[in-house]
Amino acid sequence: MHETTDLEERVAADPGAFRVLTGDRPTGPLHLGHYFGTLANRVRLQRAGVELFVLIADYQVIIDRDVAERLPERMLGQIADYLAVGIDPETATIFNHSAVPALNQLMLPFLSLVSVAELGRNPTVKDEIAASRQAAVSGLMFTYPVHQAADILFCKANLVPVGKDQLPHQEIARTVARRFTERYGPVFPVPDALLTDVPVLLGTDGAKMSKSRGNAIDLSATADETARLITRAKTDAERRITYDPDGRPGVSTLVLLAALCQGREPESVAAEIGDGGAAALKKVVIESVNEFLRPVRARRAELVADPAQLRAVLAAGNERANAVGDATLHEVRAAMGAVV
Ligand code: TRP
């Protein structure tokens, strides 16, 4: 990952030159997959001095379902998750799509910069279509990667920490930025993707950890719920515990979970359990996860007890996002010759 190393060095040398935009769909509670895949990275970047824009992607919820359910509850829960893991709302801008009109308006000129063929080739969109249970594929399903380009570019973010599945979208954002510059002049930076080097964290059933599969350890779950989920996890009959993600996905997922929570290498966690078998492994995993999440859960419980405060965080973020978005939209309209 030469490119990523290079980028990390540039960020470390001059964090003030970078603005991060990342986000999550408010479709349910954030889980440990989010934590190790992206949330920890955001907190790290913020502590290093990089400015953070964190998007609650409410318009992305309706890509693959008819209505966004329980949005108020899920959005406030997501803000609580963010703050509980250490995102600092004093310097981060936490906002949601539908509250920032200028962001959404960028979708129109941006759509003119990409071809239908390019949109149709996006492998992540193809996967989502395959996974969706909808009878018909909506226009938003094909075009939301362009909307995601607007998420990134409305605030001129130049750094986007992402997992591998988001790379096709990131390519579209870079293409949009480049083509806008060619056609109308320089308004946008070409944003870099910052790949996280953490291996994909699988759920307790060996499939990708995901809200919809019921295999995810939510940040907000109780210690008992967590224990129950881990107890049910798929393992195998071999007593000797090893870390072998390809050969033993079930056991290795659990080993990795414990290792990430303890800040250790999975091989050494596995060696320590040795011949203890699945029962000993699960005991270690339950203890490590619950120990790791204890302070996060305590902070989160305090946060959700004061929903007015969570709403105030979002209102302040939306106000700031609107100021930034309005300024960018004005530049865009001027570059396009629409300001008369
Ligand atoms: N597509 C992302 C997800 O499903 C969420 C998202 C929306 C996002 N806009 C973004 C991520 C912009 C990075 C940059 O999790």
93, 104, 144, 166, best to mutate for ligand 1 pocket (most atoms within 8 Å of CB): 166
Confidence at 1, pLDDT banded by 50, 70, 90: very low
104 and 248 belong to one structural domain: no
Examine the pLDDT at 199 and tell me if it is beyond 70: no
169, 209, 211, best to mutate for ligand 1 pocket (most atoms within 8 Å of CB): 169
Q: 234 lies in which domain range? A: 223-303
233 and 264 belong to one structural domain: yes
Cα 108 versus chain centre, distance: 25
Q: What is the pLDDT of residue 2?
A: 54
Q: What is the mean pLDDT of residues 134-155?
A: 96
Q: What is the mean pLDDT of residues 74-101?
A: 98
79 and 102 belong to one structural domain: yes
Examine the pLDDT at 303 and tell me if it is beyond 60: yes
294 and 261 belong to one structural domain: yes
Q: Residue with the nearest Cα to atom 2 of ligand 1?
A: 24
104 and 183 belong to one structural domain: yes
**How close is the Cα of 337 to the center of ligand 1, in Å?**
31
130 and 19 belong to one structural domain: yes
Index of the ligand 1 atom closest to the CA of residue 57: 7
In a domain, 107, yes or no: yes
Cβ–ligand 1 distance for 39 under 6 Å, the answer no
Residue pair 229/243 in contact (Cβ under 8 Å)? The answer is no
Q: What is the mean pLDDT of residues 85-91?
A: 98
pLDDT digits (tens, 9 = 90+) for 255-300: 999 999 999 999 999 999 999 999 999 999 999 999 999 999 999 9
Q: What is the pLDDT of residue 302?
A: 98
> Where is average pLDDT lowest: 1-5, 61-65, 304-308, 321-325?
1-5
186 and 44 belong to one structural domain: yes
Cβ–ligand 1 distance for 125 under 6 Å, the answer no
Residue pair 296/302 in contact (Cβ under 8 Å)? The answer is no
In a domain, 48, yes or no: yes
Q: What is the mean pLDDT of residues 7-26?
A: 97
Cβ–ligand 1 distance for 96 under 6 Å, the answer no
In a domain, 217, yes or no: no
CATH code (residue 250): 1.10.240.10
Q: What is the pLDDT of residue 49?
A: 98
Q: What is the pLDDT of residue 54?
A: 98
Cβ–ligand 1 distance for 55 under 6 Å, the answer yes
Q: What is the pLDDT of residue 135?
A: 85
Token pair listed for 202: 């699988």
Q: What is the pLDDT of residue 211?
A: 76
Q: What is the pLDDT of residue 21?
A: 98
In a domain, 78, yes or no: yes
149 and 255 belong to one structural domain: no
In a domain, 19, yes or no: yes
Structural domain tally of the chain?
A: 2
In a domain, 283, yes or no: yes
**How close is the Cα of 169 to the center of ligand 1, in Å?**
9
181 and 278 belong to one structural domain: no
In a domain, 88, yes or no: yes
Cβ–ligand 1 distance for 60 under 6 Å, the answer yes
162 and 92 belong to one structural domain: yes
pLDDT digits (tens, 9 = 90+) for 202-233: 888 888 888 778 899 999 999 999 999 999 99
In a domain, 99, yes or no: yes
116 and 186 belong to one structural domain: yes
27, 45, 60, best to mutate for ligand 1 pocket (most atoms within 8 Å of CB): 60
Cβ–ligand 1 distance for 58 under 6 Å, the answer no
**How close is the Cα of 253 to the center of ligand 1, in Å?**
25
235 and 320 belong to one structural domain: no
Cβ–ligand 1 distance for 148 under 6 Å, the answer yes
Examine the pLDDT at 164 and tell me if it is beyond 90: no
**How close is the Cα of 55 to the center of ligand 1, in Å?**
8
Q: Residue with the nearest Cα to atom 8 of ligand 1?
A: 23
CATH code (residue 111): 3.40.50.620
pLDDT, mean over the chain: 95
19, 25, 147, best to mutate for ligand 1 pocket (most atoms within 8 Å of CB): 25
